[in-house]
Copies of this chain bind each other. A is one copy, B any other.
Amino acid sequence: MGLPHPSVEQLDLATILGVLGDPTRLGIIAYLARDEGTPLACGGFLDLGSKTNLSYHLAKLREAGVTRTEVAGTSRLISLRRDDLDRRFPGLLDSILASARHLPAHAGLEAR
């Protein structure tokens, strides 16, 4: 049984910007953007916060329509809603990801 996701028409710019205005959540989408082909399980973000806290932030991202969450056994596979976001807000995701690339948090990621 899938989790609730907003439709493309329901995507709201203020909501999306508000949700992305947080270092943890920017970190999450930076991780996801590293290889958009492979969805990540929640555990993949564990160095960004506690399990409970990540559950909270990942729900925010999903509810805002930034990410898609698929249930796979006991795991949740998280991916960026790239197509939907690009259709609704062209260029927005890319400019945010490019800007996030210069973030200290992401500089850390680069070193892995």
Contact = CB atoms under 8 A, between A and B. Distances in A.
Interface of A: 13-23, 26, 88-92, 94-96, 98-100, 103
Nearest to A11: B99
A21 B23 contact: no
A95 B99 contact: no
A80 to B, nearest CB: 16
Contact of A99 (B23, B89, B99, B100): B89
Contacts of A95: 89-92, 94-95
A92 B91 CA distance: 8
A69 B90 CA distance: 30
Nearest to A27: B14
